Amino acid sequence: MADQQQEPVFQIQRVYLKEASLEQPNSPGILLEQEQPSVDIQLGVEAAQAAEGVYEVCVTATVTTKLKDKTVFLVEAKQAGIFEIRNLPADQMSPVMGIACPQIVYPYLRGNVADIITRAGFPPVHLAEINFQAMYEQQQAEQQPAAEPSRIITTA
């Protein structure tokens, strides 16, 4: 039957660290401080089509620690995944790329951020587990018509 719908395809092609940076602008002096720094964590999700039926989904994290007004360290990391997604109904594409794909990529980002911070000589900062479905639903409720890639931002 020519009009029979093909089976849906969802496959991970690759998960990779796309970007990572570490800054310690006030070292070594700030390292002698005994106070507990404040920690701010922001997360974002972006999705873009890379080729026909192939999509890149990126989860970004920015971790900023400060003592008073001075930065102790700043880590920015972007973990990406390439996914083959075919034969899905159009109304399911956005939830798959906004929920399912980030859930796959995020554990790699968590590990890389903790590793970068540890290698910089600090106790690791472990990013909390994220409910990407709740974040996606919140983003959909707040979404305005815009041509920018979708971003989900939280602070911890």
What confidence tens digit (pLDDT) does each residue in 52-105 have? 999 999 999 999 999 999 999 999 999 999 999 999 998 999 999 999 999 999
Q: Is residue 13 part of a domain?
A: yes
150 within a domain of the structure (yes/no): no
Whole-angstrom Cα distance, residue 42 to residue 28?
Answer: 25
Half-sphere exposure of 109 (CA within 13 A, CB side): 31
Question: Residue 79 sits in which domain range?
Answer: 9-125
Residue 120 in any domain: the answer is yes
Considering the domain boundaries, does residue 41 fall inside one? yes
Model confidence, pTM? 0.82
CATH number at residue 89: 3.10.420.10
Q: What's the structural domain count of the chain?
A: 1
- Residue 138 falls inside a structural domain: no
